[in-house]
Amino acid sequence: MSALDWDRTETRVALRESLADMQARAGSGLLEHLIDAEIPWIGISTHDGGAGGDLGDAAIAVRTLATMELDAPIAETGLVCGWALASCGLQLERQLMAPAFELGTSLTGIAVDGVVRVSGHVDEVPGALAAQAIITTVEIDGVLQLCAVAIADAAVTSTVNLADESRCSLTYVSAPVVASAPLAAGLTRFDLLARLALARAIQSCGALTELRDLTIGYARTREQFGRPLSDLQVIAQMLAELAELTLSAQAAVAAAIERPGTWQSAIAKSVTGRAARRAAALAHQVHGAMGMSQEYPLGRLTTRLWSWTEEAGRPELWEAWIGEQFLLQSSPVLWDTVVNGVRGESA
Amino acid sequence: MTQLDHLRARVRAFLAEELAERRFTPHCDSWLVGNDRAFSRRLGAQHLIGLMLPTEFGGGGGGVADRLVVSEELLAAGAPVAAHWFAERQFAPSLLRHGTSAQQLEWLPRITGGEACIAIGLSEPDAGSDLAAVRTRAVASEGGWRITGTKIWTSGAHLADAMVVLARTGGERHAGLTQFIVRLPNPDVTVRPIRLISGEHHFNEVSFTEAFVPDADVLGEIGNGWTQAMQELAFERAGPERYLSTLPLLQAMVEGLGPQPADPGAVGRIIADISTFRVVNQRVIEHLAAGDTAAIDIAMLKSSATAFEQRSVAVALDLAADPGRVSPPSTEAATLLRESQFQAPGFTIRGGTNEVLRGIVSKGLLR
């Protein structure tokens, strides 16, 4: 479509095609196929127990799966939890993992005879129904540790987001920690949340691209007043705005993948979230009543976009964080911060 | 440090010295309102104009990325670049592509030296968004052409050495248009100021009464003017001046904001937006340099970026009123705010209205 449509390198186009093919063949058994193909562990080096490939490869998989009929912690396992474990020197188990990174949720831990046991409550955990372990931070003896805890040891209250994706509450009472390591130097809980935010931004980018194409397709074929909707200038202008929003999301996400870190992830979450809100509204307006039907695919995209925008820090949260980081500098200079970032974060 | 980092450091050092010597005052929209030939000459002397032009003409022999680094640093600083801006941005690439070697030899070294001030004559009283309705006519005459008609909203025509005029040499609509280099001042060309709502004079109405242009000053091929003008518009639309016009204002407003304003997110969102437009712009100009017209992407960039510029003025008003400020906005900030409020409606009009741009986008999407 547009020359800027994100990431058209050959290997990544091939990955996208093989995922689409897998979906077509597997139907409801897609998750097993993805596991067989090691998709959840792409982007983590084989040395750390992953399937190899880089963040860009993982992003392509996550972005492609974002529009498929699947509720499983694929992005959460490798791109989010796998990265956190590898950052803290922990070996990756070949299991599905669910990040409990939302702020304000935390477990308390006590070490007894060398075994750490955790208690407490974590909310809004994505993918906990399919995963084997949650990855979260626990303060143990005054040190913040990254811990894996088995989901089988939790009392699980199942809830879902707007898109019917599992977002569970888990309660632990003196459950043993499976693996733990101190949070790597320079890493905070906020940085972990930012990684989840990046995953949501990548997913949103995939959904936005499909939302744009679906809406353009509908406007071309749906006829009213004796001509396609897209012949109406007001509709054509809405389609153009939809494309602009998609472009900005693609660019912000591409930058966050090229220069990973909390700064760019925050920017990507802000830009994709803002774009998603406006784009979802435009897409529904162009579709008219049809978009409200459960049978039609639009709602599957917009409900995801609405949820992903509010999860892992809504745009306003990340914008406030960016603004605060900027203003904390002595004599803050906007332009230099745009070019170089703050506190050693790369822009 | 990469070569681009070095280049950026050179521009910043130059600007720091200019500011230390109080040689310019930062302004918003400085690429339109800041016409300062002495500044342009000093910049040219530092080899900071025409980074992407061939070295044989005094250019840097570099790529589009070099020019982007210099442009964005100058705009972010609010430096007065208008005297050479249009010459470097669109006249130079057009000369390289379509000019005769005599034209290239005459103009390109002057442009890289910061000595050439060029105005671009596209819009007419009856041809605004509908540019193909151009009526200014050029009639063949002994040894050249005689141009009659009126151009309007011509930035800096009263200060320019020449004006590139799109005129009809025959045909209808897009066919039969030709570009001419009309040297100024000219006894048969009248330049009248159009004062803006601020009272300032940047735009003009330019009337031609059988103004003679020798054959040597025809730019490109007779009848190829529309294509050439559209190529120039691509350069005009795809640049950091579409998202940095208000940066001096925003910088002035964050000064005195303190570490804990009521709404730090307002600043954060600006940083996120500008950072993202930069990414889009870098990719767009790479496509442009690779020979891709990139018309749809350029239109999307300009439309969304200029809408941001407009919104940024509203954000500046919010920042000025933020209850968490440690000190009120400076006198300079108040002046920049006032200038920006006057200029803001034009952000989404000049170089093609956002509605025209979205028309280009939707046509591309629906093709």
> Least CB-CB distance to B361: which of A243, A321, A335?
A243
Asked if residue A282 lies in contact with residue A334, where contact means CB atoms within 8 angstroms, the answer is no
The pLDDT value recorded for residue B288 is: 84
Distance linking the first and last C-alpha atoms of chain B: 44
In tens, the pLDDT along B71-92 reads 999 999 999 999 999 999 999 9
Residues A220 and A311 occupy one common structural domain: yes
Q: What share of chain B is helix, strand, coil (3-state, %, to 5)?
A: 50, 15, 35
- In CATH, the architecture of B238-366 is Up-down Bundle (1.20)
The pLDDT value recorded for residue B105 is: 98
Contact between chains at B265 and A241 (C-beta distance less than 8 A)? no
Average pLDDT rounded to a whole number, residues B13-38: 96
Contact between chains at B359 and A324 (C-beta distance less than 8 A)? no
The pLDDT value recorded for residue A333 is: 96
Average pLDDT rounded to a whole number, residues A278-296: 97
In tens, the pLDDT along B94-140 reads 999 999 999 999 999 999 999 999 999 999 999 998 999 999 999 99
What CA–CA distance (Å, rounded) separates B190 from B179? Answer: 19
- Among candidate residues A150, A166, A182, the one where a domain is terminated: A182
Residue A5 forms part of a structural domain: no
Q: Which residues of A touch B364 (CB under 8 A)?
A: 2
Residue A2 forms part of a structural domain: no
Q: Give the pLDDT band of residue A347 (cuts 50, 70, 90).
A: very low
- Please tell me which of A95-109, A333-347, B163-177 the model is most confident about, judged by mean pLDDT: B163-177
Asked if A328 has any chain B CB less than 8 Å from its own CB, the reply is yes
Q: Write out chain A in H/E/C secondary structure.
A: CCCCCCCCCHHHHHHHHHHHHHHHHHHHHHHHHHHHCCHHHCCCCHHHCCCCCCHHHHHHHHHHHCCCCCCCCHHHHHHHHHHHHHHCCCCCCCCCEEEECCCCCEEEEEEECCEEEEEEEEEEEECCCCCCEEEEEEEECCEEEEEEEEHHHCEEECCECCCCCEEEEEEEEEEEEEEEEECCCCCCHHHHHHHHHHHHHHHHHHHHHHHHHHHHHHHHHCEECCEEHHHCHHHHHHHHHHHHHHHHHHHHHHHHHHCCCHHHHHHHHHHHHHHHHHHHHHHHHHHHHHHHCCCCCHHHHHHHHHHHHHCCCCHHHHHHHHHHHHHHCCCCCHHHHHHHCCCCCCC
Q: How far is CA B283 from CA A244, B52, B187, B350, in A?
A: 14, 16, 45, 23
Residues A167 and A309 occupy one common structural domain: no
Average pLDDT rounded to a whole number, residues B165-189: 96
Among residues B88, B124, B236, B309, the one annotated as catalytic is B236
pLDDT at A7 over 70: no
Residue A346 forms part of a structural domain: no
**Residues of B numbered 35-74 whose beta carbons fall under 8 angstroms of chain A's beta carbons: which are they?**
73
Mean pLDDT for all residues in chain B:
96
pLDDT at B170 over 50: yes
Residues A151 and A20 occupy one common structural domain: yes
Q: Which residues of B touch A324 (CB under 8 A)?
A: 259-260, 264, 268
pLDDT at A1 over 60: no
Residues A95 and A208 occupy one common structural domain: no
Average pLDDT rounded to a whole number, residues A153-163: 97
Average pLDDT rounded to a whole number, residues A88-108: 90
Average pLDDT rounded to a whole number, residues A166-170: 96
Domain ranges of chain B: 3-116, 120-224, 238-366
In terms of CA atoms, which chain B residue is nearest residue A228?
Answer: B366
Say which residues have a Cβ less than 8 Å from residue A187's Cβ, sequence separation at least 6: A87, A88
Contact between chains at B279 and A241 (C-beta distance less than 8 A)? no
CA-only gyration radius of chain B, Å: 21
Question: Does residue B18 have an active-site annotation?
Answer: no
CATH number assigned to the domain comprising residue A246: 1.20.140.10
Helix ranges (DSSP H) in B293-330: 295-320
pLDDT at B65 over 70: yes
In tens, the pLDDT along B282-322 reads 999 888 888 887 889 999 999 999 999 999 999 999 999 99
Say what the ipTM of the complex is. Answer: 0.95
The domain B120-224 having CATH identifier 2.40.110.10: the answer here is yes
3-state DSSP call for residue B321? coil
- Among candidate residues A132, A164, A182, the one where a domain is terminated: A182
Q: What percent of chain A has pLDDT over 90?
A: 84
Chain B interface, best mutation among A229, A327, A336, A345, by max B CB count within 10 A = A327
In terms of CA atoms, which chain A residue is nearest residue B288?
Answer: A3
Residues A259 and A335 occupy one common structural domain: yes
Q: What does the block give as tokens for A254? A: 């591409």
CATH number assigned to the domain comprising residue A60: 2.40.110.10
B135 φ, ψ (degrees, to nearest 5) = -115, -15
The pLDDT value recorded for residue A5 is: 63
In tens, the pLDDT along B253-268 reads 999 999 999 999 999 9
pLDDT at A106 over 80: no
3-state DSSP call for residue B262? coil
Say which residues have a Cβ less than 8 Å from residue A8's Cβ, sequence separation at least 6: none
Fold type of domain B3-116? Butyryl-Coa Dehydrogenase, subunit A; domain 1 (1.10.540)
pLDDT at A346 over 70: no
Mean pLDDT for all residues in chain A:
93
Contact between chains at B275 and A220 (C-beta distance less than 8 A)? no
> Least CB-CB distance to B297: which of A2, A216, A323?
A2
Per DSSP bridges, beta strands B144-152 and B201-214 are: antiparallel
Residues forming a β-bridge with B190: B207
- Among candidate residues A153, A182, A211, the one where a domain is terminated: A182
pLDDT at B340 over 90: yes
Asked if residue B217 lies in contact with residue B182, where contact means CB atoms within 8 angstroms, the answer is yes
**Residues of A numbered 222-241 whose beta carbons fall under 8 angstroms of chain B's beta carbons: which are they?**
230, 233, 236-237, 239-241
Q: What does the block give as tokens for A14? A: 């091939």
Asked if A267 has any chain B CB less than 8 Å from its own CB, the reply is yes
The pLDDT value recorded for residue B197 is: 95
Average pLDDT rounded to a whole number, residues A169-183: 95
Q: What is the DSSP letter of B21?
A: T
